[in-house]
Structure 1
Amino acid sequence: MRQIAVAVHSNNVPGLAEKVERFVEALARRCPDAVLLVGGYWGHMKEVVDAALRRGLRVVAVLPIEREGVELPPGAVVIRSGCEYRCRSVIMVRSADAVAVLGGGVGTAIEAFMAYAMGKPLFVLAGAGASTDRLREAYPEYFDERRVVKVVYVDDPERLAELVCAAEGGAAASFG
């Protein structure tokens, strides 16, 4: 069983919903035993949850204290973290075997940096139309001189799912 944190925008980015759908569909084909970890049920996170549950994937939502009352669909596991947004992200990323960044703003970028700092295999969808698209330009391979894990940028959501499914803990550097 692979636990995959999916970091994605909490609002709506034009064109990203279709990429989210393609990623989840490919993920369900490639690793049907995967458990997706998300940080909520709004914006594109809601699309990840709904698409995953439709395809029989297991979903765990680690909710921040500010949004603990959000209703999730049957089948989703809810963790009321008691933490604010960034703290809940630590729980989500720390619990993951790999992290897929599908596109987002500063919160999604923070989750990418957390994954890097924790040595988690880190895969970023390039061309998502979100602020995280700038990560590739600023950090083409590594976020700093420690070279903890190679950040893998992928333009295609299906290829991203394939790489995430194949990732072993700490082995992101072998993909590209």
Structure 2
Amino acid sequence: MRKLQISVIGYNKDCTENARKVAYEVGKEIAKAEAVLVCGGLGGVMESACRGAKENGGTTVGIIPQEEFSYANQYCDIVVCTGIGYARDFIVASSGDGIIAVGGGVGTLIELGVGYMTKKIIVAMAGSGGVADMYGGKFLDERKRAQIVIAKDAKEAVQVILEKYHNWQKHQ
């Protein structure tokens, strides 16, 4: 049986120290849940989440925009070199059974949009900044395809995805 995959999205270069700490905890909780962490494979939130997962026995996948493996952070077990720039945001968001947003800018917003349109389970980490705080608790438009749930901590964020995913599976 395939393992649950959780995409972690958020800041790259403009990452705050708080977002790094939150991302580390998210990665740790994903590993404890025996799920696979999927991310954009670069720095900031992506690197911190991967480190949290790796230091707790987890598996990480980095889907990078470049054509060369060396751009990926050192905590990626599997690196997918897309060579397609920001278009890789579609792959990152589509590859998770659920999505956790930690802070983030426009790239994170693109990933939220993809998750929203494909009705993914989306969780925003409260107090992590950026688009996670801007859109947490909301729908992205009037269609109300997927509400972005707010989680106060990493354990709650992963639990929300696990519960919603398992409930969805029961009805398939």
Shorter-chain TM-score bucket reads: 0.7 to 0.9
- 5+ residue gaps, structure 1, are 172-176
Tell me the residue number matched to 1:165: 162
Question: What are the residue-to-residue correspondences of 1:1-176 with 2, within 5 Å?
Answer: 1-11=3-13, 12-29=15-32, 31-32=33-34, 34-65=35-66, 68-73=69-74, 76-85=77-86, 87-136=87-136, 140-168=137-165
Q: CA offset at residue 169 of structure 1?
A: 8.1
CA contact (8 A) 1:37 1:62 kept: yes
CA distance in 1, matches of 2:123, 2:160: 8
CA distance in 2, matches of 1:72, 1:133: 25
Alignment length, in residue pairs? 165
Tell me the residue number matched to 1:174: none
CA distance in 2, matches of 1:75, 1:122: 22
Q: Which shows bigger deviation, 63-72 or 52-61? A: 63-72
Q: CA offset at residue 75 of structure 1?
A: 6.2
CA contact (8 A) 1:14 1:129 kept: no
Amino acid at match of 2:24: E
Amino acid at match of 1:4: I
Q: CA offset at residue 95 of structure 1?
A: 1.6
CA distance in 2, matches of 1:161, 1:113: 20
- 5+ residue gaps, structure 2, are none
CA contact (8 A) 1:37 1:92 kept: yes
Judged with a 3 Å threshold, the aligned counterparts in structure 2 of structure 1 residues 154 and 119 are, in CA distance, closer, same or farther, namely: same
Normalising by structure 2, report the TM-score: 0.85
Judged with a 3 Å threshold, the aligned counterparts in structure 2 of structure 1 residues 20 and 81 are, in CA distance, closer, same or farther, namely: same
CA distance in 2, matches of 1:24, 1:75: 12
- Greater RCO, 1 or 2 (C-alpha within 8 Å, sep 6+): 1
Q: CA offset at residue 15 of structure 1?
A: 1.4
CA distance in 1, matches of 2:91, 2:16: 25
Give the aligned CA root-mean-square deviation in angstroms. 2.2
